[in-house]
Amino acid sequence: MGKTMAEKIIGEHAGKEVKAGEIVVAKVDVAMVQDGTGPLSVQVLQKMGMERVFDRNNTILFLDHATPSPRKELSNAHKILREFSEKTGAYLSDVGEGVCHQRLVESWASPGQLIVGADSHTCTSGALGAFATGMGSTDVAIAFALGKVWLRVPETHRFYIHGEFPEGVYSKDLILHIIGTIGADGATYKAMEFYGPTIDRMSMESRFTITNMAIEAGAKTGMIAPDDITKRYLEEMGRGDKYREIKSDDDAEFEKEYEFDVSELEPTVSFPHTVDNTRTITEAKKMDIRIDQVYIGTCTNGRIEDLRVAAKILDGHKVNKKTRLIVIPASRRVYLQALREGLIEKFVEAGAAVESPGCGPCVGIHKGVLADGERVLSTQNRNFKGRMGNPNAEIYLGSPATAAATAIEGKIADPRDYL
Amino acid sequence: MDKILRGRVWKFGDDISTDHIAPGRYFHLRTNLPELAKHVLEDADPEFPKKVKPGDIIVAGKNFGLGSSREHAPRIIKLAGVSCVIAKSFARIFYRNAFNIGLPLLIADTDKIDEGDELEVDLEKGIIKDLTKGITLESTPIPPFMMRLLEDGGIVEHIMKHGDFKVD
User: What is the rounded distance in angstroms from the CA atom of residue A299 to the CA atom of residue A67?
Assistant: 15
Looking at residue A320, what is its pLDDT?
A: 98
HSE value, Cβ hemisphere, 13 Å, CA-based, for A255: 17
pLDDT in tens, A55-110: 999 999 999 999 999 999 999 999 999 999 999 999 999 999 999 999 999 999 99
**Residue B168 pLDDT > 80, yes or no?**
no
Residue ranges of chain A whose pLDDT lies below 70: none
Burial tier of A165 (Cβ tally within 10 Å: 0-12, 13-18, 19+): middle
User: Rounded mean pLDDT of B121-144?
Assistant: 95
Closest CA to A187 of A258, A268, A269: A258
How far, rounded to the nearest angstrom, does the alpha carbon of residue A298 sit from its chain's CA centroid? 7
DSSP states of A193-211 as a string?
A: EEESHHHHH--HHHHHHHH
A54 has a chain B CB within 8 A of its CB:
no
Looking at residue B3, what is its pLDDT?
A: 87
User: What is the rounded distance in angstroms from the CA atom of residue B41 to the CA atom of residue A386?
Assistant: 11
Q: Cβ–Cβ contacts within 10 Å for residue A338, how many?
A: 24
CB contact under 8 A, A37 and B92: no
Q: Which residues of A fall within a CB distance of 8 Å from B28?
A: 71, 73-74, 77, 365
Cis peptide before A162 (omega within 30 of 0): no
A149 to A30, A116, A129, A258, B103: CA distances (angstroms): 11, 9, 19, 30, 19
Whether pTM exceeds 0.90: yes
> How many residues are present in chain B?
168
Q: Which residues of A fall within a CB distance of 8 Å from B43?
A: 385-386, 391
Decide if A237 contacts A107 (C-beta within 8 A): yes
Percent of chain B with pLDDT over 90: 96
DSSP states of B74-128 as a string?
A: HHHHHHTT--EEEES-B-HHHHHHHHHTT--EEE---TT--TT-EEEEETTTTEE
Closest CA to A381 of A282, A270, A290: A270
Looking at residue B1, what is its pLDDT?
A: 73
Of B20, B62, B145, the CB nearest to A385: B20
A170 contacts: CB under 8 Å, gap ≥ 6: A206, A209, A309, A399, A400, A401
User: What is the rounded distance in angstroms from the CA atom of residue A58 to the CA atom of residue A259?
Assistant: 37
Of B25, B96, B97, the CB nearest to A389: B25
Phi and psi (nearest 5°) for A285? Answer: -60, -40
B103-110 CB contacts, 8 Å cutoff, 24+ apart: B103/B74, B103/B77, B103/B78, B104/B5, B104/B142, B104/B150, B105/B142, B106/B139, B106/B140, B106/B142, B107/B139, B107/B140, B108/B137, B108/B138, B108/B139, B108/B140, B109/B137, B110/B11, B110/B59, B110/B60, B110/B61, B110/B86
ipTM of predicted complex: 0.95
Percent of chain B with pLDDT over 70: 100
Q: Which residues pair with A394 in a beta bridge?
A: A375
**Residue B55 pLDDT > 80, yes or no?**
yes
Cα torsion at A131, A132, A133, A136 (round to 10°)? 130
HSE value, Cβ hemisphere, 13 Å, CA-based, for B109: 6
Q: How many CB pairs under 8 A join A and B?
A: 142
- The residues on B that touch A, with CB distances below 8 Å, are 15, 17, 19-20, 23-25, 27-32, 43, 62-63, 66-72, 89, 91-93, 96-97, 100-101, 143, 145, 154-156, 159-160, 164-165, 167
Looking at residue A143, what is its pLDDT?
A: 98
Closest CA to A233 of A205, A200, A197: A205
